[in-house]
Structure formats: structure tokens, C-alpha cells
Chain A
Amino acid sequence: MGSLSREAWAQRLGAFRASPSAFMAGPEGESLGRDLLSGLRSEKLSEQTKVSLLVLSLEFPDQLWPDASVAEAATTSLLDTLDLLSPRPSALRRPLLLAATTALIAGGALGPTSGASGRLLRLLLDLASGRALGRGFGLDSEQRPLQATALECLRELESCQPGLLWSCLGLLRGLLRREAPVQPLSLLLTLVLRNALVARARAGTSLWGLLLGGDLPTGDGSCPWDWTLAGEGDAHLKPQAPCWPAAEKEEGGLAALEPSPEEARELRATVAQLLDASYLLTPVAQAQLLWLLGWGLQGLRGQPPALFKPQLVRLLSTAQLTLLHAVLALKAAFGEALFTAQDEVLLLQRLTVAAQHPALPPPTHLFYLHCLLNFPENCPLGPDGEEATPLLLGPQLCQGLLPNLLHDPMALLARLHLLCLLWAEHEEEERGQLQSLQQYLETLLAGLRQRAALAGGPRTSATLCFQASYLVARCLSGYPTVLTPLTHGLAQLYQTRPALAPHFVDLLSSVGPELGEPLKMVLRHEVVLGTSREGALRWHLQTLAKVVDGEAQSTTLRFLQAAASHCSDWGLQQALLQVCRNLMRAGGGEGLADLLQALAVQLEDPDGRDHARLYYLLLAHLSGHKLGMALGPSLAAPALASSLVAENQGFAAALTVQGAPASTSLRLSVGPRRVHGSSPVLHLQVEALQPLYSLELRFRVEGQVYEPLEMVHVPFLCPDHPARLLPLPLHPRRPAPSHLGVSALYTTPTGLTCHAQLPPLLVNFQDLFLPFPSPSEGTGPSFFDELWASCLPKGAESRVWCPLGPQGLEALVSHHLEPFVVAAQPPISYSVAIHLPPASKLLLRLGDAQVDGVSVALRTDDWTVLPLAGDYIRGLSAAA
């Protein structure tokens, strides 16, 4: 494909430009980079075509040669092509240098291990220092532009790999004294110097030797560039990050090291040299030089910013955007050290003049206005990062910057913002002037409203009016003297042109309550009491949907009732129902149910009737909370889904029970045992983790050893309240421990009903113990003996060794068996009788305690409890 003709290339390039990604995905995409490189060497193609190929490679190297190895190869090929050019003047040399540099950087191939990087750097440095110029590299006439281009390429390499050329500082400085193109050289030197100053602060190295360094090293092995400072990968670009050199910020950055006197002197001389020659640079290049020097020298000791002073008058007098912007950067970098209070006033005046000068284009005005509101003051008062008028810029100076109706929208808004800031800042003082400012503001807003009210006017005039209202409401939210007339003005605008309803809805959603609440009220009034004009119903309903609330429902309902008869099409009916929906959310009301019922019959469209009926049912059956939830916007529905989908999802979410993880809602545990009554009772401890309404706990007994358990209801639980104890009576079918499965059903504060499965609760054997009715005084032993005797022969008897802890028998009994002791001779012997519902008994005789344990004789009339009782007794001392 290397021998494509000029036309074929033109066609290919056109196709590529139309959509690079599509082209690269196509059949020709893969070979384009290769073909381009061979095309450059083709003898059939004209130089002009080759330049167009190079321009393409300058713009899309990452598509042509996407990874480092390919980019490396491409750079090598471009450099070879350059070498192969005949010594005649050629328009290809410059673009080839640019293309090689671009390919190397964009492909990520630039680095110490890359052969092409070394080759390119050597060539560029040779060209820049004028040394390649005798080697038949073009003719004399071409050499100067090539030298300039080489310097540009070096600058780009240094930009992308800061610190790469820092050891060339001396060389570059030397060139400045000789006949080298002054602009590219100054810019390169400044950039290298700035980067070196940054690196110096980090690495603590001295620049002195470097600034005095001489020519390029001539030996083949040594190279004048340095990858060590350039760092690994892309990390090197980070440290320069702060865009805007701020004077008062940490001294630490570049100022950490005090330069030695020699170093300071050389540095000063270099900077002075650069500044003196800066007049020879184009204005945009001068601006770059100033930004870079401002960055580099900011806070550096021994470098008085006064070096810049001789330039300032010249710079301040121009109308050049970049120059004035650079002066502002110097202002930010050096603050009071370079600009005295008088200088600051002058700079502000110049900015104010420039922001309204009729000779400058509008985008410039707006940018200067932005600069004024973000002006780096010597002594800033307000909070950082907020737009404010500088202290020295009072209403008097700003007079010419105030908006009027003849301004285009952007200028009007920018100036209106200034007006609001002035008003707010000078509210305390200057009553008289303030009043006139306020009057002016009102007239201006009225003018904008008049424009917006014009039927057939463009959308922009309406948008502008609402943008202005929003801006005023935002900036002056605390000033009812401004907001009240604004509210009434807007109400009047609505009256004249209800078609602006979408703008009103948007405004109400955007502004705070200071304007929003009164505006809602007047608009509601306007809609429900206003004369409904033909065709405006749609807009009225749209507005009403936004502004309805719980108040003044009767008039709203009357309006809706009347409107219903005019709602002939589906859209209007939906709008009407939307209002009803919002009314329901705002708190329903009795009349609303009647209206919905009427609508369910009256509306023409079956869909509308269905909806009305549904709303009626919801209103009649759901509590306020739940209703709000059911009608609220669904979080599940994507923003773009139709309202109907969103609505249905909202219902679905609100009306079905949601599964919820137990850990987020409540904790349930068994509380301390209390023995009384005729059946065992578990005392449940419930702890809510969020407010819960209508909590219902359901239990399932494992193995059905107890009768089914009743549900437990709790109307309201709140996390702040202490845990409540809920009694849960058990009715055992046989005396055995078991697990209770527990599930909870509750309503969240957002109205959702949730179901959660809680961890099972364990019912222990001892939880089922009940005492026998206590015998009368003194008859205990005989009562126990009767029971003891009654167990046999049907029951079972056993003897268990119960280990004792250090507290002894008395403690053990009082701790675990106290309620069941029928007769005792403390601390020697105890007779314990336990009733195990439904109809079993367990009798224990404890006595004759040894040091480490006590022998327990036990009898029961139910042999199945024997192993349980044994386990229980053996576990007693451990449980103590």
C-alpha cells in the first residue's frame, strides 16, 4: 500500500478525519500508520501531500501508533526519513521534527531506555545550539527556522518530562547571548529554569554550577539531558499541579531552601536577562514567560519580585488579554511584595476599565469581570474561593459595569451578579445609593419580565428572565425588600403568560424557601382564583401540581372540580390527576375523596378513570405515611422512565412487603428469668435500630413441643428508648427445651412495610420451671416427702454429682433454685420441688456437701426429663 497516489491519500485522510475511531475499526485502520511512514519516503508524492500526512500524524499519533514500541519504531522511521532528505531546502524538515517529537511523547516511548529518545534529543540539541548547521542539514536560509523548531520541540519534551533538560541551563543561557531566535529560546530557558527551581526545592541541589555551565559536552558517551529528575512514568507531572501561584500559601513549596549568594546572583541575572528581552517576544509569549517566572520565583528568598516592576507599567497599559491575565498571576504570586496598595488600586481600575471598554470584544469583557470578582487582593476579607467584589471596588467605580436591558444575556447575567454582590456588601452603608440600586434592580427585572411576557417571543428571553430571578433570589435570599417585589412581579408575569409554567416549575425547584414559599402561595392564588383563559388550563394544572399543599384546599378543589369538565384529552386528565396526587401527598382532605370519586365516573378516558379510582382507593385505605410513600417518586425507576412506570413502581414498592436484613431493624434476645404465674413466660428484650411502626413478631416452635405461640404486637419502637421487655407465655406440650423461629413485620418511617427473619431464640430447660404452690408454714418437709413418694413407681430416680464452685452450696441454691425450695436446713440440705408444665414434676434433694461438690438425689414422675435434669444439674456450677 506504500504506493498510494495523492488522490487516494486525500480520500483516505478525509475518511479518517470524518471519524477516526470508525476508520481505525475498519479494514484500512490497521495499516494506516505503516502506510503513512512509507508514504513519507515515496518519491511519487509531492511535499505538500507529505506535509498533510505529517499534520495528520501530529494530531492522531495515538491512533496511528498506539503503544510505546510502535511509537518508538515510528519515531525512528521519521528520523530516518529526515536523514534521507537531500540537502536541498525542504518544507518537510520542520514538520518531521514536530512529528517525531509528538509520536515519541504521545506514544509514551520517551524514556532513558528508548533509542529514539536519545537520537531525537541529540539532534534537537545540536540543531538548537547551532552545531548541526554545518552538516549539510538544509541550507543556511532554512537553519534559523529549524533552530527555532528544535527549541520548540525541546520545550515540549521538557513540558512533558519536567527536569529533562535542567543540566542544559548553562548552555541555553549562553545561547541567549548569541544569535539564537530569541522567543523560542527565552521560553525554553524559562521553562527549564522553572522546572529546575521546583526540582531544586525537592532535591536540594544547587543551580549555580548549572547556570554557569557552558557548551554541550562533546564526548560521545555523555549526554546533556538527565532522566533522574524526570522521574518514573507520569508521576513527574504532579508536583506542579497548583495552577495559580498563591502568595500567602505555604512557604514550603519552592522556598524551602535559601539559595547561596552566588546562586541568587546568577539567578537574578538570568531572570533580568529574560525580562529585559521579553519586549521582543509576542504578547502571548511574554505572558507565558511571566506566568512561568511567577511560578518559579514565588517565595524564593533573595529574588526580589521588584525585578518585574519595570515591566508592569508597560503591561498594565495594554489591552492584551494574556498580558493582563499574566499580571494578575504575578499579583497572585507576589501580592504586596510587588503591588503596593496604590498599585492594587491602579490594577483594579485598569481591570474595571477593560471590563467595559467599548474597543474590546464581549468575551473579553466577561473574562475581566470574572477576574474582578476573583481578584487576588492583598488583604482579602471574604471566604476563599467565593466570588466577591474587591474591597476597593465600591458602587461608584462599578457604575459602568451594571447591567441594562440592551446587554446580551451572558453579559446581563454577569453584571446582574455584580449588582447583587454590591447590594449585599454595601447594604450596611450608603443608604441613599442603595435605594437607587434597589430601584434600578427592580426596574431591570421588570423589564426582563416584560420581555418574557411577550407572546411569540423567543425562548431565550423567558430563560433569561428566570435566570435573572434565580440569580437575585440566590444572592439576596436574606433581603425581603428585594424578594417581595420580585415575587409579585413573577406572579404578574404568570398572569400574563401562563405558558411559562415550565419555567415557573423549574424556578420553584431551584430556589430556596425565601422566594419559593411566597411565590408558591401567590401562584396558587393566581391559578385557583384567576380567570382561566382558553388554552391555559394545561399550564395552570402544571403549575398547580407544583404549588399545591395542605392549605386552602377548598378553593383548590373547587378549581379542580371546575377544571375537570374541560379536561377532554388524555394529557389534561393526567395533569389533573397529577394535581390530585400531589394533593394526596400534601395531606389529602375530605373533599379530595369526593373529587376523586367523581372523577372516577366523570372522566372520558378509561385510563384517567382507572387512575382516579385507584387514587380514591389509596386515599381511603392508606394512612398518611403510607400514602406519601406510595405516591412519592420511586427510587427504583430510572429517571427517564415514563411517569406511569415510575408511578407503578412507586405503588409496588409501597404496597408490597419488602424483605429486609434483620441486622438493620431490630435485635431480639431473651431477658432475665422471672418465675410466676401458671405457665412459663419468656421475657423478650426488643431493641430497635431504627424507628419501627406496627411491629409484629411471629414465632414458630421447632419440633412442636409447645402449643403454637401468639404474635406479639408493638405499636411503636424507637432506637432512643430503653429496650422493652415483652412477655411471651409458653404452653409446653411436653417439658423440653426448644428453638423458636422468629420473624418480624414492621413499617419504616418512609412508609415501607418490611419483613425480617431474626436469629432463632433458644428456650432452655430451666425456662420451663414453675414452683409448686408454696406449702403453709412448717409443712414444707412433709409436703416434699409426699411428692417424693408419689413419683415412684411410675417415675424414675437418679443420683447426680453436682460440682460446687468456691461459693458453696448455699450460693448455688440461692442463685438457681431459690423459688423452688420447699424445705431446707441451710446451709446443709435443701429440698427442691419443680413443676414442669404441662404435668410433670422434678424433685431434688441436695445435702451432705463435700468441698468440691454435692450429691443430688432426684426423682421425677416423667422419665423423659431425667437426662435433661442430669445435664442441668451438672451444668449448674458452670452457669453460676
Chain B
Amino acid sequence: MAQRAVWLISHEPRTPLCGTVRFSRRFPTVEKRAKVFNGASYVPVPEDALLLKALLFEFRLLDDDKDFVESRDSCSRINKTSVYGIPVGGEELWPVVAFMKNCMIYASVPLVEQTLCPRPPLISISGVSQGFELLFGIQDFLFLSQKNDAELNSKLNQLPDLLLQTCPFGTLLDANLQNSLDNTNFASVTQPQKQPAWKTGTYKGKPQVSISITEKVKSMQYDKREIADMWQVVGTVTCKCDLEGFMPNVTISLSLPTNGSPLQDILIHPCVTSLDSAILTSNSIGAVDDSAFSGPYKFPFTPPLESFHLCYYTSQVPVPPILGFYRIQEEETQLKITVNLKLHESVKNNFEFCEARIPFYNRGPITHVEYKISFGQLEIFREKNLLIWTIGQKFPKSMEITLSGNITFGTKKHEKQSFDQICIGSTAYVKLHFKIIDYTLTGCYADQHSVQVFASGKPKISTNRKLISSDYYVWNSKAPAPVAYGSLVL
């Protein structure tokens, strides 16, 4: 399990090459093995310029999308994973693990320790998951807490040194590149025997543990008889443990109130040492079980130095926090819209912000808006064909607010204007954005007193919670809308 090469390519539209290789690294000893293992099916790793062009073509980033090109658009060329066969010099380089994020293509070529003809299934190639892990690691390093291009450049300049540490011969030793950076900075620390490889030094200072629970709620609401509304909570528990000693032990318990919704689909950080099997088996995909495990969820672990995600979970709460209705009536020259939002009584009515965005796609520019709202303010962004209804910090006492209006559009000037693939015809949505501090929809909390720390000194323990909306859609009930299979009422 090793990588033969790795590249970072930035997409730069409207430049002659449409992109630049920002970083590349080859591993010749692995290449040597590839030549032997792959035998007659061996395809050498190409030079950067060749790969740049081939990858940009594969990702449809060259600026010529106009005509049908068989080698790219043929219906039988179906890729179902982020692993590609890239044509270079008349042959096909495979497997190339590649994905795009933040205008940057991350790519690597894992070693396959057998012949490539016939192609073995990806599941049997150990280097594939390693390639992903390496690329995710690089991505995290480059983009976590990165603010501008200068910072990105300086991080890119650090990469050769970092890979020398974490991937000296193409075999990844640690996907956490930041870790290695700290390691090189603190090389003078002599490590005792049982120091974990993922913890490169020890903390000196005031002991403290902070735990934050962030829940994101997403929803699809249709207001239709034959389609069920859908909503889901996704939680992330982030920890930062500043504790002295090289192997401090910590146990954190997450608890639910008596009427709380059980946590499901729990994914745990690898530093957690042991686990109640009920945590492992509670998932959202099996049959619904009334006797579902509802905590407390105990996680004993030895923390790494940096801040880390202790666990992720999902949950199915009984009601969505805000229930919405959206109706559009098309009249000759204008659209008549009605939006109705209702906050559920069990939800904390104290937002950091709350707004509803109402976009209009595939239409000409907004020329005129008449509206009536029961609460909040409405802003109109004509050039973006967007209305923003700012609700503010609180819903009114009735918990229910309404917007109705008539919108007139001009004629559509060019095809690309406010284009959208989903909102065709009267298909349209209102998207809600809100955030509530010190609140979780599941009720999940980390009790300060239940945090056990086995380390010198009594640490200060701080906890915080928040609820954020994410992909919270209310669809026009008078038109078709994209539906997930689970929402069909059978």
C-alpha cells in the first residue's frame, strides 16, 4: 500500500491552460515496484504538464463544453467513484484517485500490487483508501483556518517538507500533516516509549478541556399529501484537551434529557479506546426500535494534542424546528407567492440569526415586487433575483409569520442568467438560514460533572452547544420538487 505520485492542481478558468500544477511529488521506489507488479499493463506516471491537461479534461474544466465529445460525454463512460482512468500518451493511467474541492484538484496514483488487466475491484486495492486519506490530509492542512491566497501559498511551500515527514517513500505514515509540522517544531522533545505516533509532544500549561456540540438540521418540506416531509439532525462533538502528561485518560459522557431523541449512526474518532456495543449498533437504517439506546454515551479516550472531532452522530427528532409552507401561483405576467413559517413551541425562541432566502431561477430579472409581511423585513436583490426575509432574533408570540407578494419579471436576456437545473417551471424553494446558541435539537449535552480526567491537576471544563440550519428547504407545494425515496408515502 503506497502512492506512486501525488498532485495538486488549481483550476484557473480563462487562462490558456485553465490550470496550474501547484504541487507534485513522485515516489520512484514505489514506481519501481509498480513496474514489476503491473507487468505488461504498467503505465508510467506522466510528467506534470500531460497530467494537468488530462485531469482538467476529465473534470470538464477546459473551457470547451460546447460540442459533444465522445471521449468525455459518451453515455457509456460512467464513473461511480472518485477514481479515474486518465488517458496519457495513448495509454490509460489507472487508478487515479482524484477529487475537486475549493477550485483545487487533489490527485494521487496508488500502487496496485498485481497486474491491471483485468482491473481488480477498487475494494481490493489497499492504496486507494490510503490515497484518499493522504489527499484529505493535504486538503485539511491547506484549507483549515486558511484565509487568503498568500497563506495558501505559504502552506503549499511547506508541503515538500511535510511530505518528507509523513510520506517519505510514498507510504503514508500520518494523514494529519499539521501533526508533523508540530513534530518538526518540537523535535527536541525526547519521546518516551509508549508515546502514540499521533501525539507528537506533551502539553505544558493550565489543564483545560473544552467540548462543543454543533448540530446541523436539514430539512425538505413539501406540504403534499403523497410526500412526507424530511428532516434530520447531524451532530459533531469537537474536543480540545490541554492536559499534562503523555497519556492522559479522559472520559466524556453525552447525555440526553428524558424526552431527547436517541443518537444514531455514531462515528467515533480512532483515539477512543473502548465502546458500548449499543453505540455501535444504533443506526438510522434498520427497523425502528422503540427500545433504542438513549445514553449516556460514554467515550473513554487518550486525547491528541490538537482539537479533534470526538464523534459524529445523526438523529431523528419528532418535529422540524420550523415548519414552512410555500405556494406559488403563476399569473400572466407575475408570480403570486405565499410563505408561511411556524416555529415549533419546543424550540428555543432565541436566534443568533434567522432569515429566509427566496430565489427565482430561470427567469428574467425582477422588475417589480409588491409584498405584505407579518413580521421582519424583506430585502430585494434584483440583479440576483433573490428576496431575503430577515426574521431576526425571535419569532413573535404567535410563533407564526407570513409573507405574501406579487413579483413581476422582465424578459430573460441570456440563457445563463440565474440558471438552475432544479428549479424548472414553478419548481421553487425557500431556504432557511438560522442559528441558535446554547441549544441542541436532540437535547444532547455534555455534563461538566460527568467528564472524568485522569491526569495531574484539575482541569477547567467548558462546554458549549449550538444548532445551525443546513440545507433547510421549503418547496413550492404547487409544483413538483426533488424527492428522496424515503419521503414517498407508500
Contacts and interface: CB of A to CB of B under 8 A. Distances in A.
Contact of A507 (B29, B75, B115, B175): B75
Interface stretch (B264-272, B335-343, B352-360): B264-272
A613 interface: no
Given A160-B32, A405-B422, A243 B114 contact: yes
Interface string A136-162: 000011101100010010011001100
A362 B1 CA distance: 23
Interface in B18-58: 25-29, 31-33, 35-37, 47-49
B280 interface: yes
Interface in A262-288: 279-288
A326 B28 CA distance: 25
A98 B164 contact: yes
Given A320-B270, A433-B490, A243 B126 contact: yes
A363 B99 contact: yes
Interface string A279-313: 11111111110010000000000000000000001
B123 A317 contact: no
A320 B121 CA distance: 20
A62 B484 contact: no
B157 to A, nearest CB: 11
A105 interface: yes
B190 A322 contact: no
Contacts of B176: 282
Q: Chain A contact residues (Cβ within 8 angstroms of B): what range?
A: 35 or more
Most chain B beta carbons < 10 A, residue from A145, A280, A414: A280
Contacts of A140: 190
B275 A285 contact: no
B114 A242 contact: yes
A152 B169 contact: yes
Nearest to B129: A325
Contacts of A694: none
Given A457-B419, A503-B73, A55 B169 contact: no
Interface in B40-87: 47-49, 60, 65-68, 70, 72-83
B175 A459 contact: no
Given A291-B1, A313-B277, A244 B120 contact: yes
Given A410-B82, A506-B68, A467 B75 contact: yes
B281 interface: yes
A241 B37 contact: yes
B484 A456 contact: no
Contacts of B125: 243-244
Contacts of B121: 244, 370, 374, 385
A328 interface: yes
Nearest to B81: A366
A184 B174 CA distance: 11
Contacts of A283: 133, 175, 198, 270
A141 B121 CA distance: 45
A513 to B, nearest CB: 16
A470 B76 contact: yes
Interface in B137-174: 160-161, 164, 168-169, 171-174
A632 interface: no
A47 B47 CA distance: 28
A286 B218 CA distance: 35
B73 A349 contact: no
A461 interface: yes
A317 B490 contact: no
Interface stretch (A351-359, A545-553, A570-578): A351-359
The DSSP consensus for interface residues of chain A is helix
Given A357-B314, A399-B285, A319 B267 contact: yes
B81 A470 contact: no
B473 to A, nearest CB: 9
B81 A400 contact: no
Contacts of A375: 123
B421 A451 contact: yes
Most chain A beta carbons < 10 A, residue from B32, B176, B279, B309: B32
A279 B416 CA distance: 54
Interface string B402-422: 000000000000011001011
A238 B114 CA distance: 8
A367 B81 contact: yes
B197 A463 contact: no
A503 B485 contact: no
Contacts of B196: 182, 279-281
Most chain B beta carbons < 10 A, residue from A142, A284, A369, A436: A284
Nearest to B161: A51
Contact of B129 (A21, A242, A287, A313): A287
B432 interface: no
Nearest to A386: B121
B488 interface: yes
A106 B486 contact: no
B82 A318 contact: no
A413 B76 CA distance: 12
B171 A359 contact: no
Contacts of B173: 152, 183-184, 282, 284-285
Contacts of A467: 75-78
B333 interface: no
B450 interface: no
Contacts of A58: 28, 164, 168
B112 A506 contact: no
A808 interface: no
B221 interface: no
Contact of B197 (A280, A313, A319, A326): A280
A459 B73 contact: yes
Contacts of A183: 173, 197
B234 interface: yes
Closest 4 CB pairs of A and B: A456-B415, A244-B124, A319-B267, A359-B312
Interface of A: 17-21, 51-52, 55, 58-62, 94-95, 98, 101-102, 105-106, 108, 140-142, 144-145, 149, 152, 155-156, 159-160, 178-184, 234, 237-238, 240-244, 279-288, 291, 313-314, 316-326, 328-329, 332, 346, 349-350, 352-354, 357-364, 366-367, 369-371, 374-376, 385, 396-397, 399-400, 402, 404-406, 410, 413-414, 417, 432-433, 436-437, 439-440, 443, 447, 450-451, 454-463, 466-467, 469-471, 502-503, 506-507, 510
Interface of B: 1-2, 25-29, 31-33, 35-37, 47-49, 60, 65-68, 70, 72-83, 97, 99, 112-115, 120-126, 128-130, 132-133, 136, 160-161, 164, 168-169, 171-176, 187-188, 190-198, 216, 218, 232, 234, 236, 265-270, 272-275, 277, 279-281, 283-287, 309, 312, 314, 362, 415-416, 419, 421-422, 424, 480, 482-486, 488, 490
Given A106-B32, A406-B482, 7 more contacts: A94-B164, A283-B198, A325-B129, A346-B280, A360-B267, A367-B132, A467-B75
18 contacts: A18-B48, A58-B168, A152-B168, A152-B173, A179-B192, A244-B124, A282-B175, A282-B176, A284-B174, A324-B129, A354-B267, A358-B314, A396-B287, A410-B81, A410-B82, A460-B65, A503-B73, A506-B73
